[in-house]
């Protein structure tokens, strides 16, 4: 019932927004507005489904991504400012995420030997185990969420999103990490 009410409110809001825009914006592009609206809804859907599942496991989606990134730089670890830029989060946010991961024993933090102002994060054995526990479940959720799309449609969607980002692909090419 609640979901129906929310969907109806969103639809009414979107319809009134479209009507208002057509009236007051001379070069209003209805299809562009619809794309942005749908991307935002998909983003929220992904965040709710993937983030909530991870939260139930005791980790945030950013924390999960930190573990994934650190897993591929095991020996050296990574400076927090690099993690922040890779994850598109603020330094304050990455510090809080790392604090939580350190408290849970999933990440170790230490000073850079060359520059003590620089903090390095490194995944621990416990962090590796937790990541390997999460990965199959996470990928299963992703596969289920995108299950309505064919492989070709997923590739097309991915290419279109990359095009919107100006051609800068933020993730590895499809098929290089896992199938789905």
At residue 169, the pLDDT reads 63
| Torsion from C-alpha of 123, 128, 129, 131, nearest 10 degrees | 110
At residue 116, the pLDDT reads 82
Determine the Cα–Cα distance for residues 74 and 68; give it in Å rounded to an integer: 10
Query: What is the full DSSP assignment across 94-157?
Result: HHHHHHHHHHTTSEEEEE-SS-TTSEEEEE-HHHHHHHHHHHHHHHHHHHHHTTTS-HHHHHHH
Residue with tokens 């590796």: 128
pLDDT-derived band at 170, boundaries 50, 70, 90? low
pLDDT-derived band at 176, boundaries 50, 70, 90? very low
Domains of the chain and CATH, by start: 57-169 (1.10.10.10)
At residue 1, the pLDDT reads 67
pTM as predicted: 0.72
Once rounded to an integer, what is the mean pLDDT over residues 11-19? Answer: 77
Crossing angle for the helix pair 61-71 and 80-87, to the nearest 10 degrees: 120
Once rounded to an integer, what is the mean pLDDT over residues 28-48? Answer: 86
Whether residue 33 is predicted with pLDDT greater than 90 in this model: the reply is no
**What average pLDDT does the chain have?**
84
Encoding tokens for residue 91?
Answer: 């330094």
Number of H helices, E strands in the chain: 8, 3
pLDDT in tens, 112-152: 888 888 899 999 999 999 999 999 999 999 999 999 999 99
pLDDT-derived band at 53, boundaries 50, 70, 90? confident
């Amino acid at each position: 019932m609640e979901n129906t009410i929310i969907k109806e409110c969103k639809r009414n809001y979107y319809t009134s927004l479209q009507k208002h825009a057509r009236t007051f914006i001379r070069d209003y592009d209805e299809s562009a507005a619809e794309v942005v609206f749908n991307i935002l809804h998909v983003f929220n859907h992904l965040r709710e489904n993937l983030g909530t599942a991870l939260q139930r496991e005791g980790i945030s989606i950013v924390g999960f991504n930190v573990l994934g990134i650190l897993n591929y730089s095991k020996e050296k670890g990574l400076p927090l400012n690099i993690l922040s830029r890779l994850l598109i989060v603020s330094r304050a946010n990455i510090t809080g995420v790392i604090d939580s991961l350190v408290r849970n024993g999933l990440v170790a933090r230490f000073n850079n030997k060359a520059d003590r102002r620089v903090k390095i994060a490194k995944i621990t054995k416990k962090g590796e185990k937790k990541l390997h526990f999460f990965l199959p479940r996470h990928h299963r959720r992703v596969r289920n969420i995108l299950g309505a799309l064919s492989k070709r449609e997923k590739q097309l969607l991915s290419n279109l999103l990359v095009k919107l980002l100006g051609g800068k692909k933020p993730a590895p090419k499809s098929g290089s990490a896992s199938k789905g």
